[in-house]
Amino acid sequence: MTSTLNPKFTFETFVVGAANRLAVTAGRTVAETPGSTYNPLFIYSGSGLGKTHLLMAIGHSAKALASQLNIEYLTLDEYVEAFHAAIAAGQGDAFRRRFQNVDALLVDDVQFLTNRKEMQAELLRLTEALQQAGHQIVLTSDRPPSEIADLDGRLISRFSGGLVVDMGIPDYETRVAILRRKADERGASFQPGVLEIVAKVEFPNVRELMGALNRLVAYQAVNDAPMTAEAARQLVGAGAAAAPGARGGGAAPGGDEFSQFLTDVTVTVGKAVEAWRARVAEAVLRWEGEGYRTTRLERLLDQETPAEVDAVIDAYVQDVERLRALAAEVAALDPQAAGEKVFRDPDRVAEAEEAAGRVRGGAAPPPAPSGAFPLAAYATGPSNQVAASAARAVIDAPGKKYNPLVLVGKSGLGKTHLLHAIGLELARRPGAVVACLSTQAFVDELIAAIDGDRVDWWRARYRRSTALLLDDIHLLAGKDRTQEELFNLFNHLLDQDRQLVFTAPAHPNTLDGLEERIVSRLEGGLVAEIGEPDRDVRRTVLARVLGQEKAAAEPALFDYLADRPAPTVRSLAGLVQRVVEAAAAQDQPVTAGLAREVLEGRAPAAGRRSAGLRTSGLVVSSAGGVRSREKMVWDWPAPADRVIEESR
């Protein structure tokens, strides 16, 4: 039942003047920090003065600032209708739950609460629930709460407890600005002075002003000739409002001559004086409405004949644009710092640059992938082919194909290696900010951030990353807050097509302690399993490890080790390690024979040891302390003799 927000009704298209500045400022504040400042915000004004526009603008702005917010806009009538439908369907509770989970509820035209006792009670309950949960509620009405007939006193006090603000009829300058903007939007252009004539009429609301503009547009289109000020005056009946005094004395003979003169002078003044003044005033209104300081422009108005008006305005706009860019950049790093006044004062651009520089310097990038795991060193084979090709797809088109990518496999199979390898490759892209870290570190960072009251900063740090890679996602189990944060971060990054990669020891849906919403999101991408290393993988790993140990890779040794059963890459590396250490201990070269001796405890066919001597196969480190012959078991029974007696 919720109405969609009209895309035209944004703050950008809202003309701000003295009559609505307070309401707009409050609206902007609410959109920036829903639920925390003016809650509820109650806006009232006569019909056609922009309540709905402002309400929708709040919705648009809040959504633009935090896309995950759940925002509902609806008129009171729609709300009532939805309520009745829900009650009729026996879904009253579901209805209440639905609205209680809204982050910002925008209700239009609440004056229709009159004579609706049950809806008043419902709305009271909802307002209380939303307030308690810190969720924003914005209401509009054509009159203040206290004047809505028959309204529950508790609702009045609720509404009045936030901010009640009104919007008045726009003044002349604002009317001119509105007309100009709307004429621009329609691509209509008028002779100088025409719109000013229309603006002189004190229409009771903007809607009627638009009606007058429509008449002008239509008239001009039909007549195929530019409309004169006088024709405009006749068309909208502006005469009376424009010069009441003239009409008062209009009875005098030849009064028309003077009126005509007055009109001509008005047009001329409009062309001459007001041309630049209007430009300045318009700029002041616009930027003031957007929350920027306009001292520089106002100073222009104090001068009699300022020079270079347009140049000053252009320079001002450039400064504002720069501030905007800075504020946006800072907002990504530290939302609190972006709210500083210096980002709203075009006369302090230099200071703003400095402040942005400080934030930039202070915002450490998220942990980067480790250089110890290059992609080139990742051994691939049939056992991990799926994961490896998925990784390549991710590297080629991050965020496009497999998002998220979840690498699943037992410990020691190289998940971490592949994760960091992906991270390193992604980090090569221009402008990439790759966050790659263990889940434990992620949790610890969040705890530290909560402790230091810098959660916003922490969030911003990750939000600006172009890829997030988390190792051992199962460690999130039981960490509700981190799961919540990850959930939001996940959505934020996914919305912007940023790549997400995770590793887990098992299929996500088999992991305990993970919230369903996280599991389902992990399952939503590609879950690639890495199996026990096959021969290809083992050979590659061996080549690398032996190469690292600078041991000459004797083909026999290679074949032997590659054929040894090893459930994980890590254990294979461990085997090599043992052989190499043993060789070092015995001061012998690393050979297949030695390896067999070390790993199997059996002498090679042409072994050096006498046939009678059998060793346990245990590796004894040369540095070990077990030197005493008495403490060593030197003679072990042959394997065939090693009978384990079953105890019955």
Binding site for other proteins (CB under 8 A): 172-173, 196, 243, 245-246, 248-250, 252-255, 257-258, 260-262, 264-266, 268-278, 301-307, 309
C-beta atoms surrounding 509 within 10 Å: 12
Q: Which is nearest to 460 in space by CA: 481, 445, 479? A: 445
Taking the least distance from each CB to other proteins, the nearer of 193 and 508 is: 193
Whose Cβ is closer to other proteins: residue 271's or residue 358's?
A: 271
Shortest distance, CB of residue 262 to other proteins, whole angstroms?
6
Look at strands 41-45 and 467-471 and give their pairing: unpaired
Number of H helices, E strands in the chain: 27, 10
Residue whose CB is less far from other proteins, 258 or 487: 258
3-state SS track over 452-495: CCCHHHHHHHHHCCCEEEEECHHHHCCCHHHHHHHHHHHHHHHH
- Residue pair 508/522 in contact by the 8 Å Cβ criterion: yes
- Contact status, residue 586 vs residue 562, Cβ threshold 8 Å: no
Nearest distance, CB of residue 309 and other proteins, angstroms: 7
Distance (Å) of CA 96 to CA 59, 79, 99, 510:
21, 11, 5, 34
CA-to-CA dists, residue 538 to 532, 533, 592, 594, angstroms: 10, 6, 16, 19
Nearer to other proteins, 260 or 588 (CB): 260
Q: How far is the CB of 263 from other proteins (least distance, A)?
A: 10
Closest Cα to residue 467, out of 504, 438, 496, 503?
496
Q: How far apart are CA 367 and CA 529, in angstroms?
A: 25
Q: Which is nearer to other proteins, 39 or 266 (CB)?
A: 266
Distances from the Cα of 441 to the Cα of 490, 491, 505, 508, 522, angstroms: 17, 21, 17, 20, 20
CB 322 within 8 A of CB 356: no
Q: Please state the closest distance from residue 305 (CB atom) to other proteins, in A.
A: 4
Cα–Cα distance measured from residue 281 to residue 177, given in angstroms and rounded to the nearest whole number: 9
Distance CA 288, CA 17 (A): 9
Give 215 or 247: the residue with its C-beta nearer to other proteins. Answer: 247
Residue 247 Cβ, how far from other proteins at the closest point, in Å? 8
**Rounded Cα gap, residues 539 and 562, in angstroms:** 6
Shortest distance in whole angstroms from residue 188 CB to other proteins: 21
Which lies closer to other proteins via its Cβ, residue 68 or residue 260?
260
Q: How far is CA 397 from the centre of its chain?
A: 21
Calculated CA dihedral for residues 97, 102, 103, 108, nearest 10 degrees: -130
- For residue 63 the two structure tokens come to 């959504």
Helices (H), 500-623: 516-523, 535-549, 555-563, 569-586, 592-600
User: Considering the complex, what minimum distance in angstroms separates the CB of residue 430 from other proteins?
Assistant: 46
- Comparing CB distances to other proteins, the nearer of 253 and 371 is 253
Residue 377 in contact with residue 366, Cβ under 8 Å? no
Report the residue number, 244 or 624, with the smaller CB distance to other proteins. 244
Minimum CB–partner distance for residue 22 and other proteins (Å) = 22
Question: Which H helix or E strand runs over 148?
Answer: none
Q: How far apart are CA 277 and CA 533, in angstroms?
A: 78
Q: How far is the CB of 446 from other proteins (least distance, A)?
A: 57
Identity of the residue, 78 or 171, whose beta carbon is nearer to other proteins in the bound complex: 171
Task: For the CB of residue 249, give the shortest distance to other proteins in the complex, in Å.
Answer: 2
Task: Write down the least CB distance from residue 346 to other proteins, Å.
Answer: 21
80/309 with CB nearer other proteins = 309
Residue closer to other proteins (CB basis): 307 or 350: 307
Tell the smallest beta-carbon distance from residue 212 to other proteins (Å).
Answer: 18
Token pair 């710092």 is found at 337
Q: Give the pair of three-digit tokens for residue 297.
A: 């422009």
Q: Toward other proteins, which CB reaches closer, 274 or 353? A: 274
Question: Minimum distance from CB of 267 to other proteins (Å)?
Answer: 9
